[in-house]
Structure 1
């Protein structure tokens, strides 16, 4: 054990929680080959195989489960040291890892977070825009913006905002197809949608929920992929207004007749929410969301900036 590298435990923890070296590489910002090499070194150091590896990902072995139990206790101790020994709960310094849905994180939160970091140079924000829910119980992030309201009593949760979705298509697509004057006309369109059986939450909007008889010609688990496909002018997609309004070539269809809204929730574990740096980011995100309610609901075309 003289050569044991404790840094490899962080990689082990990420892979164990994601059950995938690829997803762990995204979470940690480390390339997948480095993760695989470090895992093999860890297994060599402790002389035990920690994962069964196959096409489905990484599954813990019995030895892996035993190690995970100890590493999670170590992680809890480190968090306590940050708060109690280094006075972390009162200092506007350190790292914040924020999880978010893919489209909202990439197209709305990202520019606001960049301004926040410019205002608070001693705080580093790691944004994780993912096409799945971030697991706060497993410490994948310090806070998250999600479509579902968590029910765990150990979390602090606040409604962040509502947002609206509408059908969007390019002018070229609309010119090539019959006029759309009523909702029933939408049934004859070429649709882009989610892969219905791979939704990560029931709050994700899919055509199957709204027009169950429609069979989309193109589907993706990524809202950004749907957004790009709609911009190509080959079909129509239901998109969040905050995403579609970032480009000029997408036109909302029947905006006066269709009302589809969803809600984003801001959540953090109680111990992380009490950290000063998390508190100041939390309040900033609430101000940003309040200032941009018109933009998120499709009533305004431009983002409003808020002083961090």
Structure 2
């Protein structure tokens, strides 16, 4: 009678990493082990199971049906582990420990750091891991516990509250007031930002050859406008705060967004998350006129 293979969670992680990264070298680097260890362990797993988990091709490692089955099991196990972590975090007895918060870099620098400073005074047993990122992180996998995001359509799998509208307008350098906007070059957010709607806004207002620079961050866009590279759209709470910039018109309705404070449903009742979200909302709601371009 054949003995059952003795599989561990690390075996499933290895198979998942190899499948997702297409080979042993990148998988080993991702897992923090050397290539020979990964090679030896994969051979042991396949020997124990009596099947090949991957076809070794010149282009990389391709999962066999057995490999696909193990990969699916690994994904379910990873989801269970992440769910357990959220459940434990949700049952903390007091607002103490670490909370991971993500927001756009410009928002972190201009508005969120003072809020966090006051939060830590009120809750000295808390620690904040701040992740300044333009893209959305996976709150289901606990890449972050709380997200503060500009969005017109927040993910359906998250919960939270709308804090404010976010107005955008076109800005230029304040010392170029006599120059006509239609005679200036433009700077723009890249096509990869917000589904390309800001890039489309700029394209509709000038010729392609007059778009001098594209960037993937609002911080970079503000610096580009301030440097005189061109005019461009900015959130009003960013542009209005810069004395060297001026609005070139009213807020643009088609660029209107919303500011959301979001978390995963499994975390919303945890004391750490609830303490931060309540505090952040209390601090940010009075800034609504600034976000909406009215202050």
The partner residue of 1:229 within 198, 211, 224 is 224
CA contact (8 A) 1:164 1:241 kept: yes
1:173 to partner: Cα distance? 3.8
**Alignment correspondent of 1:95:** 98
| Cα distance in 2, alignment partners of residues 43 and 190 from structure 1 | 55
Larger radius of gyration: 2
Q: Equivalent residue of 2:243, what SS? A: coil
What is aligned with 1:79?
86
Partner of 1:150: 154
> Could you say if the C-alpha distance between residues 173 and 207 of structure 1 is closer, same or farther in structure 2, counting changes exceeding 3 Å?
farther
For normalisation by structure 2, the TM-score amounts to: 0.71
Residues 1-308 of structure 1: pairs in structure 2 closer than 5 A: 36=29, 39-41=32-34, 44=37, 47-48=41-42, 67-83=74-90, 87-88=91-92, 90-146=93-149, 147-152=151-156, 154-175=157-178, 177-178=179-180, 186-196=181-191, 198-199=192-193, 201-202=194-195, 205-209=197-201, 212-214=204-206, 215=208, 216-255=211-250, 258-259=252-253, 260-300=255-295
SS in 2 for 1:208: helix
Partner of 2:267, secondary structure, is helix
- 1:149 deviates by 3.2
Taking structure 1 as reference, are residues 81 and 265 closer, same or farther at Cα in structure 2, changes over 3 Å only?
Answer: closer
Contact kept? 2:187, 2:225, Cα under 8 Å:
yes
In the TM superposition, what is the alpha-carbon distance from 1:212 to its structure 2 partner? 1.3
Contact 2:103 2:133 survives alignment (8 Å): yes
Structure 1: runs of 5+ lacking an equivalent? 20-34, 50-58, 179-185, 301-308
Distance in 2 between the 1:104 and 1:206 partners? 18
Question: Could you tell which deviates more after superposition, 93-102 or 223-232?
Answer: 93-102
- SS for the counterpart of 1:193 is strand
Structure 1 segments (4+ residues) deviating >6 Å: none
Provide TM-score, normalisation by structure 1.
0.68
Unaligned runs of 5+ in 2: 1-7, 22-27, 44-60
Q: 1:163 and 1:246 mapped to 2: Cα distance? A: 14
- Tell me the distance in 2 between the aligned counterparts of 1:189 and 1:277: 49
- 8 Å contact 2:202–2:232 — kept in the other structure? no
Residues 249 and 275 of structure 1: CA distance in aligned 2, closer, same or farther (over 3 Å): same
- Distance in 2 (CA, whole Å) between partners of 1:60 and 1:122 is 48
Mapped partners of 2:62, 2:246: distance in 1: 48
> What is the distance in 2 between the residues matched to 1:60 and 1:286?
48
**Distance apart, 1:42 and its partner CA:** 9.4
Per-residue deviation, residues 146-166 of structure 1 (Å, max 9, x unmatched): 2143353x5323112112111
Residues of 1 paired with 2:252 and 2:85: CA distance?
A: 50
- For 1:130 and 1:99, the matched residues in 2 are separated by 7
Hey, what's the Cα distance between the residues in 1 that align with 2:153 and 2:261? Answer: 8
